[in-house]
A = this chain, B = another copy of it.
Amino acid sequence: MTGTLIAVDWGTTNRRAYLLDAAGTVLDTQRDERGVKTMPTADYPAELIALRARYGDLPVVLAGMVGAARGWVEVPYLSCPAGLAELGAALHWIEPGRTAIVPGLTDPAGDVMRGEEVQLLGAAAAGLTPDTALLCQPGTHCKWARLEAGQVRRFATALTGELFALLQAHSLLAEFLTGAVADDAPFREGVQRGLAGHLATDLFRVRAAAVLGQRPAAQSASYTSGLLIGHDVAGAEIAHGEPVYVLADPHLGDLYARAVTMAGGTPVRIASQAAFVSGITRLWSARQP
C-alpha cells in the first residue's frame, strides 16, 4: 500500500490530515489543533512542506476554512446545487496539479459552508445515505442539507452550539449552566419545549425555574441544550418518519438523534471521517484540469 494523496480537513479550530492510497484507504491520519484561527497566512507554505516531509512528496488537497478570507487563500464559493464532480472541477490550485483547495458552497437563500460539503456529499457517494436525503451535521454551527441526485440542493445553518457556549460563558444563565448535558429527562423536556416553544422566552425561564426551585440548577444545562437543539431541529421541518442522517461525534450525535426522534423523524448515524474520505477521494478523481 503506497500513499497517493494527502488530504486535510482544515477547520477553524482543528485540522485532520489523512494519507490515502489510490483506492481511498486511509493509511494514516493525525489530528491537531493547528486550525485556521491560530495560523498566520504566511505559515501555510511551511505547513505544506511539513505535511510532505511526513507523508511523502504527494499531491495535497485541502478542505474547510483554509479557503476562507481568514484562511490561506479566499476561494470563491460554488452555488448550490453542486456535487463532488462540480467541486472537483472548481478546485482552486495553489500549484497546478499539486496543491489545491476545495471551494465551499453557498445557498442562494443566503447561507455558506466550507468543509462540510465534502462530508455530506461523501456520505452519499459512499452509499452511507441515499442520493436524495436529509443530512444533519451538528456542531458550533449545525448544518442541515438536502441532497438530491447526489448534489447538495439546499442547506441551512443554525447557530445552536455557539448560542449554548455564549449563554454558558457570558449570560445571566451562566451560573446555572454548569451541569452535565446528557440525553436525560431534563434534556428531553427541553427538546419538547424547543420543538414547540418560543426560544427567547424559554431561555429566560431557565433562570426563573432555578430561582423558583422548579428545576434543580444541576439540570439546567441539559434542559437548555435540549431547548436549543429542539429549536434547531424544529427549523428543519422533518417529515413524519423521514430518515435524518446525522454526522457527529457520539455525544452530540446522541443528543440530535433523540431530538430528531422526538420531532417525528428517524435518525441514522453516519461516521464523519468515513464520509470525508469518501468525498475527498471522489472529488480528487474528478479534478480539473
Binding site for B on A (CB under 8 A): 69, 77, 106, 109-112, 141-142, 156-160, 162-163, 166-167, 169-172, 198-201, 203-205, 207-209, 211-212, 214, 228, 231-232, 234-235
Contact = CB atoms under 8 A, between A and B. Distances in A.
Given A166-B171, A167-B166, A169-B170, A158 B200 contact: yes
A201 B156 contact: yes
B200 A228 contact: yes
Number of copies: 2
A198 B235 contact: yes
B212 A106 contact: yes
Given A198-B235, A231-B199, A214 B110 contact: yes
A201 B142 CA distance: 9
Question: Looking at chain A's contact residues, is the secondary structure mostly helix, strand, loop, or mixed?
Answer: helix
Contacts of A204: 111, 141, 156-159
B209 A110 contact: yes
A235 B142 CA distance: 24
A232 B166 contact: no
A141 B203 CA distance: 11
B201 A158 contact: yes
10 contacts: A106-B208, A106-B212, A156-B198, A156-B201, A157-B201, A158-B201, A159-B172, A163-B200, A166-B171, A200-B228
A158 B130 CA distance: 41
A278 to B, nearest CB: 26
A228 B204 CA distance: 14
Contacts of A112: 207-208, 211-212
A205 B235 contact: no
A41 to B, nearest CB: 18
B160 A200 contact: yes
Contacts of A171: 159, 162, 166
A29 B170 CA distance: 33
Contact of A208 (B111, B203, B205): B111
Nearest 10 A/B pairs, CB to CB: A158-B200, A198-B235, A157-B204, A112-B208, A159-B203, A159-B204, A166-B166, A110-B205, A156-B201, A158-B201
A166 to B, nearest CB: 5
Contacts of A69: 211
A199 B234 CA distance: 11
Contacts of A209: 110
A190 to B, nearest CB: 13
